[in-house]
Structure 1
Amino acid sequence: MTSLRAVLRACSAAALVLAAACADSTSARVQPAPDAPAPQRLVCTARVASRTVSCAAPGAEGVRADRILGQGAGMKLTSSNIGVVADSFAFDMTVTNQLEYPAGTTDGVSPDPSGIRVFFVDGIHTTSGTGSVTVANADGTGTFTASGQPYFAYVGVLAPAATTAPKRWKLRFDPGVATFSFGLYVSTPVPPGAGSVWMTVLAPAASAVVGDDVDVRVRVDSASASVLSVRANVDDRSVLLTPVSAGVVGGTLSLAGLPAGPVQLRVHAVTVRADTGTVLRALTKDAPPVVTVLYPTGGVV
């Protein structure tokens, strides 16, 4: 079992491409992140002759970790440049951080020496043909969900939406192997997320009636670490707020196309140490009034 405050981040099935509250408060403390969903193990089947891999994410049980994120919510794996040379099945693999805070670090600033580790859950299994397949160039073996699990490490602080440099993975297979499968998880250190952030929504006002475009202004009053991002959203509409003056961020949120009626504005802040939270504000969306002049008619006074 890793000694880090390790976080196992399950990979999205669609991510691995081997073939190619404070309701209506104006000032609120950041709330802790909700419990993470159940994990998903990424299971991949490789075909030597066609040099392809297809992947699915069945349910996984028994994973030991402090916190677990589910399918599509954490780290994304993408590979390219697949090649089969002699007895080696090789490809380049990258990791993309889909979290809202940095990964590969415990303080949000300095890289953890262990790095982000992508590990094989229970080895590699031949599914057709004869012979075995092994990991040829793993960076090491560790105990994550069991002992002796080979892994590839990506060392460095990985910012949200950032992608690592590619690393070449090599799997060695016996001549009789036609297809094989393997399962993957991602284990990464992350910041503790135990601090606080206070912010005030300056605009729109509580219970305001808004149109298609909403001017959002938020003042960050205090934070236990450097604020990484502040985002405002209503339903599926979202805007990243950017600095407009000292301590104030803002932006325009488009509600065009949403029906008239009550809506809820959600403002969410994240620091480099993964301190997160939300301020909610009730609003009403309504179409702007339309004035029609009935009399006098055009040109008549």
Structure 2
Amino acid sequence: MYVEIRFASHPQDVKQYDTDRLRKQFMIETVFVPGEIRHVYSHVERFVIGGAVPLQEPLRLETDKSAIGVDYFLQRREIGIINVGPAGYVTVDGTEYELGTKDGLYVGMGNKDVTFRSADPSNPARFYMLSTTAHTSYPTAKVGIEQAEPVHLGSLAQSNERTIYKYFHAQGVQTCQLVMGMTLLKPNNMWNTMPSHTHNRRAEVYFYFDMPDDGVVFHLMGEPTETRHLVVRNEQAIISPTWSIHSGVGTSNYTFIWGMGGENLDYTDMDPVPMKELK
């Protein structure tokens, strides 16, 4: 298992970053590698962000003591897993869960043995995962895309007609601090999270996918009066610290998984930014 460590940064420092430094600090360019589990350990909310693509052999979720400092990965953590590829299976301490495309699985603190395998290794599953620290163990729970709570927002006139699916949240699957879901933009809609917001009480990670090979999303970040942008391609992720907006516009519609950790589990806890204040 490959683990990369990223440190946190101050918004005053980020004002001086060039494009290359912004990408190295906040973008995860490679989430999936066939036959591997890759993780980024971020000091922003101590997120672990990663992907697993099992081929012929199952992949086991292991720990890296240099980053996490525990005996097994979920000893002091919880994790949300969403399959963005063909069907696959996640086994948690001997219990196997089948995850179809866009199905999710929450795994609570204390589970020791988590493995991933593909139903068809020649057409492997692609398990995206986001982990936060935890202090209490909650039951493992599968949430299929058809079970996730849908919220329909936006309009074609504003190019942001979309459905937000809540997988793990305060009114659904119980967690310590992880809130996670997925947003699907309808065809001919390109904007997400606009008007934008921040939430100083929680950090967030966006994972963009279902994009064409030649498609991009211009992800907007930074303080509301000091915005920057990152050009994101298919199956890449963005770490969004508490002080940053997190909006974007694509060259076509796309899908993204959002995940948060922090002081509360209130999905609606955000500080809106009026359009006239953006710079």
| TM-score of the two chains, using structure 2 as the length reference | 0.27
Higher helix proportion, which one?
2
| TM-score of the two chains, using structure 1 as the length reference | 0.25
